Amino acid sequence: MRIYTHPACTRHDPGPGHAERPLRLVAVTEALREAYPSLDWHEAPGASRGQLLRAHGDALLALILDTQLDGPMSLDPDTVLAPGSAEAALRAAGAGIAAVDTVIKGEEKRVFCAVRPPGHHATGDAAMGFCLFNNIAVAAAHACDKHNLARVAVIDFDVHHGNGTQAIFDTDPRVMYVSSHQMPLYPDTGYAHERGVGNIINAPLPAGTGSEGFRKVWREHLLPTVDSFRPQLVLISAGFDAHRRDPLAQVELDREDFAWITRELVAIAERHALGRVVSMLEGGYDLAALRESAVAHVGALME
Q: Helix, strand, or coil here: 135?
A: helix
The dihedrals phi and psi of 47, each to the nearest 5 degrees, come to -70, 150
- Residues whose CB is less than 8 angstroms from the CB of residue 228 and which lie 6 or more positions away in sequence, other chains included: none
Q: Determine which one of 12, 56, 121, 272 is catalytic.
A: 121
CA 169, 173, 176, 179 dihedral sign is positive
Q: Is 121 among the residues known to form the active site?
A: yes
- E strands, the chain, where? 2-5, 40-43, 73-74, 80-81, 110-113, 152-156, 175-182, 200-205, 233-238, 277-281
Instruction: Enter the DSSP assignment of 45.
Output: P
β-bridge partners, 261: none
Q: What is the dihedral of CA 114, 134, 52, 171, to 10 degrees?
A: 140
Residues 46, 90 contacting (CB under 8 angstroms): yes
The residues assigned a catalytic role are 121
